[in-house]
Amino acid sequence: MQLNYINSNEMNQNKLQVRKTKKMFGLAVGCSILMLALLLSQNLFIGAVWSVIKTTELRIFFLIILSVLTLFFPFLILAKKAKISFSESLKVNTDVPNKFWLYIPFTIGAGFVVNIVIRIIFGPLLERFDYTESQLPSSVTGIILYFILAALVPAIFEEWAFRGVLLRSLMPYGKGFALVVSSIIFGFMHLDPARVVFATTFGLLAGFIYMKTGSIWYGALIHLVNNAFALTASFANKTNVDENVASPEAVLVTILMFSFIITAIIGIIYFAQKGYFKTRVMRYVTPPEKPKLQKSQYARLSLLNLTTLAFVIIYLITVIFLYF
C-alpha cells in the first residue's frame, strides 16, 4: 500500500513537471516566433523604407535600430515571464575560466569544421542560399556603422537574448534540454540554411560556456571576434572581386581560418583529456535545476507541440520569401 502511494505520488510529480516544462518551452518558442515574425516583417517592408532613406549610412543606422528592437522586445517578454532580471541576465562573473584564451579560436574553428563537413555533404543543395554581400559601405562612417550592425550588436544582444534569457529560462527544467533548444532556435534565427548549422554549433558552444560561467560576456567576446572575422572576410572577398586578384587581406583571412580549425582540433583533444565536457558542476550563478524528465518526455513535449509547428512554418515562409 505504501509502495503504491509512493509510485502514485512520483507519477503525479512527474506529470506536474511535464506541464511546467511544456509551458516554459511554449513560452520560449512563442517569443522566438515573435522574433521571426518581426524579421519577416522587416524583409516585407524594407523596400518601401529604402525608397525614403537614400544614403547608405542612414540605412545601416536604421538597420541597427531594427536589429536591437527585434531581439529586445520578444525576449524582454520572456525575461519578464521567467522572472529573469536584467542584473541576472547581464551578470558579470570575474572568475575567468581556465585556458579561456583557447575558447575563442576553438569555438570559431569548431563551427568551421562542422560547416565544411556540411558543405561537402550537401554542397549542391546549399548553393541556392549562398549570398555574397555586394553593397558593403566604402566610407569610414559607413564601415564603422556596419561593424556595429554586423559584429557589436549581435555579440551583445544575441548573447543576452539567447543565452542570458532563453537558455537561462529553460535551464531549471534540464540543462541539456535548455542548451539544445536555445542553440537550435539561435541557429534558425540566422535564416540562411547555409549558416544555420554553423550558428547552431556556435550556439551549443557559447551556451556551454554560459553554463560554465553564468555570464553572457565570455560568449559575447567570442561572438564579437567571430562576427568581426566574418566581416573582415566579406571586405577581403569584395576586394578580390573588384581587383580580380588575391589581396593580402584575403590571404590573411584564409590563414586565420585554418588556424582556427587547427586550434579547434587541439582544443577538442585538450578539453576531452581534462574531462571538461563531462563536468556536471555548474557555476553558482546559474539557476538551480528542477526534477529532470526522461529524454523521451523532452522529445515529445518539444516536437509534438503547436508552437514548434508554428515556428517551423514561419521560418519556412521567411526562407521562401527571401530565396525563392
Residue 128: per-residue pLDDT: 64
| H-state helical runs in the chain | 2-50, 56-81, 86-89, 100-126, 140-147, 153, 168-170, 175-189, 193-213, 217-243, 248-273, 295-303, 306-323
pTM of the predicted structure, to 2 decimals: 0.86
Spell out the per-residue pLDDT of the chain, length 324, in tens.
Answer: 554 544 667 777 888 888 999 999 999 999 999 999 999 998 888 888 999 998 999 999 999 999 999 999 999 999 999 999 988 888 887 776 666 767 777 777 777 777 778 877 777 766 666 655 457 888 889 999 999 999 999 999 999 999 999 999 999 998 899 999 999 999 999 988 878 888 998 999 899 889 888 889 988 988 998 888 888 877 776 655 455 555 565 666 677 777 777 877 777 777 777 666 565 545 555 666 667 788 899 999 999 999 999 999 999 999 988 888
List the chain domain ranges. 2-323
Q: CB neighbours of 313 closer than 8 A, spacing ≥ 6?
A: none
CA atoms within 13 A on the CB side of 81: 20
What is the identity of the amino acid at 150? A
User: Could you give the angle at which helices 2-50 and 175-189 cross, rounded to 10 degrees?
Assistant: 20
Output the nine-digit C-alpha cell for 167.
537558455
CA–CA separation, 3 and 22 (whole Å): 28
Residue 158: per-residue pLDDT: 96
DSSP labels, 166-207: IIHHHGGG-HHHHHHHHHHHHHHHT--HHHHHHHHHHHHHHH
